[in-house]
Amino acid sequence: MTYILQQGLNSLQLGSIYALIALGYTMVYGILTMINFAHGDLFMVGAFLCFLAATFLHLPFVPTLLIAMIGVALIGVVIERFAYKPLRQAPRVSAIITALGVGIFLENFTLVFAPYPQHVPTLIKNTTWVIGGVSVSSLQLIIIALSLVLMVLLDFIVRKTMVGMAMRAISWDKTIVPLMGIPLNLVISATFAIGTSLGGAAGVMYALAFPVIDPYMGIMIGWKAFIAAVVGGIGNIRGAMIGGFILGGVEILVAAFLPSTYRDFVAFTLLLILLIFRPYGILGKPRPQKV
Amino acid sequence: MSQGNVLLSIRDLTISYGNIMAVKGISFDVYEGEIVTLIGANGAGKSSTLRGVSGLIPYKGVITFQGQDMKSIPADKIVAMGIAQVPEGRGIFGNLTVLENLKLATWSRKDKHEFPKDYQRVFDIFPRLSERQGQLGGTLSGGEQQMLAVGRALMSRGKMMLLDEPSMGLAPVLVREIFSVLREINQAGTTILLVEQNANMALRIASRGYVLETGVIAHTGTGQKLLGDPRVKEAYLGG
């Protein structure tokens, strides 16, 4: 029982990181029906900004987190303006190829400055408590709590604010949005800023939990978070959160009961089976084609 | 019929899609307080003209609103200047509630304290919308969606409302309801430019009308005059 509780806690930690990244994929897909395949690499940039702020500026946790989130958001907005916006009318595949290219650029740009894996200093004093046989670390709690706070905040923005309403309107029909007096490009930039900043926050948390980082760390995690977004229903915000936690849970549980080399194999098989029965994901709905 | 000053002035408007010229150098004015209608068959250039005015597509020629040249002003700023468009096919956001659809149209307004009054006005005009405030736009009937589209245009508090075929796909009883509301809105001070294929209904409420044929203005006159014009009768009013 304590074993299950322990693994449950671990899956919450991993799941919240996946969920934060998955949100970035799903938000961008929601408004532009495009998969931003550079998003995993923006997560990596977030980890590196955390490393830079902590190592060279000796900043504590909160300013480091803010620097990483704002830095990644700015990069995300710039990428959208210069790489994706010119392709808005182009076939979707062109935008996707561009996104892959941007991702490779980010990896290699980082590689120039960090050819070797880097060690991220400890920013949060790691205290571990043992409660009923389950060991709980302060870092784990902070990661889970902070992710939940960010997700609740995002949910609030999307559901209650004018910008959030405009984002949802764009996802329905972006040609009508300017007729409401809404500057389309500004809302798209805001979406990129928010979505990528969550990826940046995930990068910081990941770097603190697994403190050896390298420029390719975003590839596999990015793919996994993308799959989490699809499992939850791509374009659906709450779906991305659920998908992230499901993926984290499945991965940890598989590794808990089977040899850990089976982890990805079994986890993804399960997810593929889920998609056979729910092809639009858990919360996704088929959209009627407009004629 | 012309009351007051020129609100919208269009000179030599030309709109092309690639090699196809949809609007071929038309000119007309809309005066403050009028209902002006553009009628004509499919592909006559009516919708293109509206889309040019609202800044959705590039054009050649000059469009001025309250004397200000509108060229290269983006569509969202044009709304803030006072032109609200009810788009073709209504353009309701089906994933937003009725109230959210209305609220979204207040984006460029600063006078928050005035919003409740305007919501109330929309709900007074269309009590059906009031009952369905929390319902998603996509679950409304066609008629209710058209009411919402008009209500949304009211929420931006424009001086002028452009409507692109509001009668499309609606039962005759609903068309009459919408048109009588348009007349009320006009009497309350909003100038209207109405694009319609339902020439009969449009000309009845219009101060003036323009008949577009393949991108040029073929006939013009007061609504009454066009209704009685044998050429218009034959081509657009079913003989």
pLDDT (0 to 100) of residue B4: 76
Residue B191 maps to a domain: yes
Q: Which pLDDT belongs to residue B23? A: 96
Asked if A169's CB is within 8 angstroms of B76's CB, the reply is no
Give me the residues paired with residue B84 across strands: B161
For residue B140, pLDDT over 50 is answered with: yes
Tokens for A97, please give them.
Answer: 């190829």
Identify all chain B residues contacting A171, using CB atoms and an 8 Å cutoff.
95
Reported ipTM: the value is 0.92
Q: Inform me whether the pLDDT recorded for B25 exceeds 60.
A: yes
CA atoms within 13 A on the CB side of A228: 34
Each residue's pLDDT, cut to its tens digit, for chain A (291 residues) gives: 788 889 899 999 999 999 999 999 999 999 988 999 999 999 999 999 999 999 999 999 999 999 999 999 999 999 999 999 999 889 888 999 999 999 999 999 999 988 899 999 998 888 899 888 888 999 999 999 999 999 999 999 999 999 999 999 999 999 999 999 999 999 999 999 999 999 999 999 999 999 999 999 999 999 999 999 999 999 999 999 999 999 999 999 888 888 888 888 888 888 889 889 988 888 887 765 444
pLDDT at residue A290, rounded to an integer: 44
> In the CATH scheme, what is the code of domain A2-277?
1.10.3470
pLDDT digits (tens, 9 = 90+) for B148-192: 999 999 999 999 999 999 999 999 999 999 999 999 999 999 999
Distance from CA of A235 to the nearest CA of B (A): 12
Closest CA to A147 of A239, A283, A244: A244
> What are the E-state strand segments in A41-191?
118-119, 128-131, 134-137
If you compute the radius of gyration of chain B from its CA atoms, what whole number of angstroms results?
17
Work out the percent of chain B whose per-residue pLDDT is above 90: 92
pLDDT of residue B1: 44
Any bridge partners for residue B40, and if so which? Answer: B212
pLDDT tens readout for residues A264-287: 888 888 888 988 998 888 888 776
Q: What tokens were used for B198?
A: 């339902």
Residue A260 has a pLDDT of: 82
User: CB–CB of A180 and B79 under 8 A?
Assistant: yes
Chain B: nearest CA to A27, how far in angstroms? 15
Strand partners for A136: A129
Chain B residue numbers with beta carbons less than 8 Å from the beta carbon of A172 are: 93-96
Cα–Cα distance measured from residue A7 to residue A227, given in angstroms and rounded to the nearest whole number: 21
How far is the first Cα of chain A from the last one, in angstroms, to the nearest whole number? 55
CATH code of the domain covering residue B200: 3.40.50.300
Q: Would you state the pLDDT for residue B213?
A: 93
Beta-carbon count within 10 A of A215 CB = 23
Rounded to an integer, what distance in angstroms lies between the CA atom of residue A287 and that of residue A241?
21
Residues of A in contact with B107 (CB under 8 A): 162, 166, 180-182
Residue B199 within a domain: yes
The residues, any chain, with a CB within 8 Å of residue B171's CB and separated by 6 or more, are B143
Interface test with A, best of B90, B95, B108, B148 (most A CBs within 10 A): B95
Nearest residue to B61 via CA among B22, B20, B21, B27: B27
Interatomic CA distance for residues A149 and A69, integer angstroms:
15
> Does residue B2 have a pLDDT over 50?
no
Q: Which domain covers residue B168, as residue numbers?
A: 6-236
Q: Choosing among B76, B81, B139, B168, which should be mutated to test the A contact, i.e. which has the most A CBs within 10 A?
A: B76
In chain B, what residues touch A190 (CB-CB under 8 Å)? Answer: none
Distance of CA A178 to the CA centre of its chain: 29
Q: Which of A177, A180, A188, A189 to mutate to test the interface with B (most CBs of B within 10 A)?
A: A180
A226-265 pLDDT, tens per residue?
Answer: 999 999 999 999 999 999 999 999 999 888 888 888 888 8
pLDDT value of residue A259: 87
Buried (b) or exposed (e) across B158-168, using 16+ Cβ within 10 A?
Answer: bbbbbbbbbbe
Contact call for A183 and B91, based on CB within 8 A: no
| Count of structural domains, chain B | 1
What are the DSSP calls for B125-176, one per residue? H-HHHHHTTTSBGGGS-HHHHHHHHHHHHHHTT-SEEEEE-TTTT--HHHHH
Check A178 against B74: CB less than 8 A apart.
Answer: yes
What is the pLDDT, as a whole number, of residue A288?
54
Question: Which A-chain residues 98-137 have CB contacts (< 8 A) with chain B?
Answer: none
CB contact under 8 A, A181 and B105: yes
Q: Do A173 and A213 form a contact (C-beta atoms < 8 A)? A: no
Average pLDDT over every residue of B8-28: 95
Q: Do the Cβ atoms of A176 and B105 come within 8 Å?
A: no
Structural domain contains residue B1: no
Domain ranges of chain A: 2-277
**What pLDDT is stored for residue A271 in this prediction?**
83
